[in-house]
Chains A and B, each alone.
Chain A
Amino acid sequence: MINLSIRALSELLQQKQISIQELCGVYHDRCQSFNVNTNALISICAELSAAELLQAQQQLDAGELLAGVPLVHKDLFCTQGIKTTCGSNMLADFKPPYDATAVTQLAAAGMVNLGKANMDEFAMGSSNEHSAFGVVKNPWDSQRVPGGSSGGSAAAVAARMVPVATGTDTGGSIRQPAAFCGITGIKPSYGRVSRHGMVAFASSLDQAGVLAVSADDCGLVLSQMCGHDPLDSTSLKTSTWQWDKPKDSNMQGLRVGVPHAWIDALQDEGIKNKTTEAIEYFKQQGASIIDIELPHADLAVSAYYVLAPAECSSNLSRFDGVRFGHQTNAAENLEALYRKSRSEGFGEEVKKRIMIGAWALSAGYYDAYYLKAQKVRRLISEDFNKAFESVDVIASPVSPELPFKLGEKADGVSMYEADKFTIPASLAGLPCLSMPIGFTAGLPVGLQLIGRYFDEQNILALADKYQLDHDHHMQIPEAFL
């Protein structure tokens, strides 16, 4: 049962071959058993909520496809009365008084929340080593990272502790952990899913998305999450969308753009071979493969590490120790209350990014760095616009590296630079996903698909067609069978 698709699980429920309580019970038990190995979850709901189960049953009776399907939320989605820590001591005891819109929408469809997934603190990191609640271990190799920042969500799905998890992606935080854990993950277009109740890191980049086994599962859940929300001024009125699963794997007429310079520069021969094989498959199925150039993409990581920290510095100024979050016990005056609460509550990586942002926004550097980075962002976005004049989808590697060993990247900059393939599409706000394309050295490899703005359909359809003929996404690490 643990490897069934959402459609198959739904059929079992509809035909009353299993009850919602039984299905959620199976996954709840797996969450409790396997969290010891993975540390994928910060909290597991002690018992299934009666109200949620009732809602799920009502939705199931009404024929809703997602009803009764369990999930976990990344621990930065506000969940009413359930701890929402953001992986930080700053919010270790924070129980929000409301649900995030994405949480509300999935609950309305009858999905059942089993817990909250571990993450890099405030979504800042690419390894899930920066969590106040301990590192997450990659289910494929417990000595290696699961990626980040949605590392807990990715590890939980890879270990089949849940069939699906929510995540967020600012510069690659869904796609890179999905690739490292051998599952599928989609970051939709900026403006597609409401950010209300999603604790902000970098507001012009953050997007909620889905991590699941297959592209079809991702499409089904994403369809339910998206739509205009008056509580988020950046959620667009045209954001409602419904996933339409293709009927076959024919790719005739599809134009796939490939930045060959990115592939040629790969040092890891295993990743290079798997990427080339996947693109060759698209060609065999009738797609045209077109070489594209993204001339300013090499500057994306540099621009991102001005813009994201600047926005983080501004967003995280709300944590002052007064209204919510950690408050120091040792403040002699108000200024000291702010400084000590923040210094005690935030971890080292978060403090570092706040300081980079404070510097970039300070007098004398604003024009030279912050505005300059915003201009580079436009150049990168225009590169994509130009590429999409001649292609429908762009295919590229997700990461230049396989999942690395815990503690291997003590040098922060080398971890930042490893996000060079995911950050460009984030800056442009484009929809993009990662799908598994095989294994090398026993570790999963992902392929990134990037679509035109608001064209989630084409990238998911391409991934779904690939998954009709391949079973890489169906593989489960032996320890979690």
Chain B
Amino acid sequence: MSINRKELEEIATLAQLDIPEQQLGEITASLNQVMAMIEHINEADTAAVKPMGTPHEAQQLIRPDAVTDCSHKKDLLALSAHADEDHYLVPKVIE
């Protein structure tokens, strides 16, 4: 498996990243090195193997649907670069 510059641009779009034109070649080569390494997983016969998503398969814990914490709106909004008293502020979305 390997990718070309056009495919890298598509991946960057999925990842919400900008890649400068002059770095496209270098990053394509770098990702292709990793993909060549990844390819080794195909050496394993996994026809009868179930995927393992996590080391333990404990049941999801359920807790009562009760209010346990008060609002931290002010603290959380204070972390944003642009916010007013009630909202995060972003560039205009609707024309």
Contacts and interface: CB of A to CB of B under 8 A. Distances in A.
A33 B19 CA distance: 40
B54 A305 contact: no
Interface string A336-361: 11111011001000011011111110
A372 B39 CA distance: 10
Contacts, number: 168
A74 to B, nearest CB: 21
Interface stretch (A123-131, A216-224, A324-332): A324-332
* A contact patch SS: helix
A380 to B, nearest CB: 9
Interface string B32-50: 0111011111111010011
B6 interface: no
A282 B36 CA distance: 40
A190 B55 contact: yes
A346 B60 CA distance: 33
Nearest to B93: A334
B27 A322 contact: no
Given A356-B34, A359-B11, A374-B52, A322 B18 contact: no
B91 A332 contact: yes
Given A204-B55, A358-B11, A375-B49, A324 B80 contact: yes
Nearest to A372: B41
A362 B1 CA distance: 14
B15 A355 contact: yes
A333 B92 CA distance: 7
A305 B56 contact: no
A334 B38 contact: no
Contact of A340 (B15, B18, B90): B18
A412 interface: yes
B17 A343 contact: yes
A260 interface: no
A412 B33 contact: yes
A441 B12 CA distance: 44
Interface of A: 94-95, 97, 189-191, 204, 230, 233-234, 236-237, 296, 298-299, 301-303, 305-306, 313, 317, 320-324, 326-327, 331-334, 336-340, 342-343, 346, 351-352, 354-360, 362, 369, 371-379, 381, 411-413, 416-417, 427-430, 453
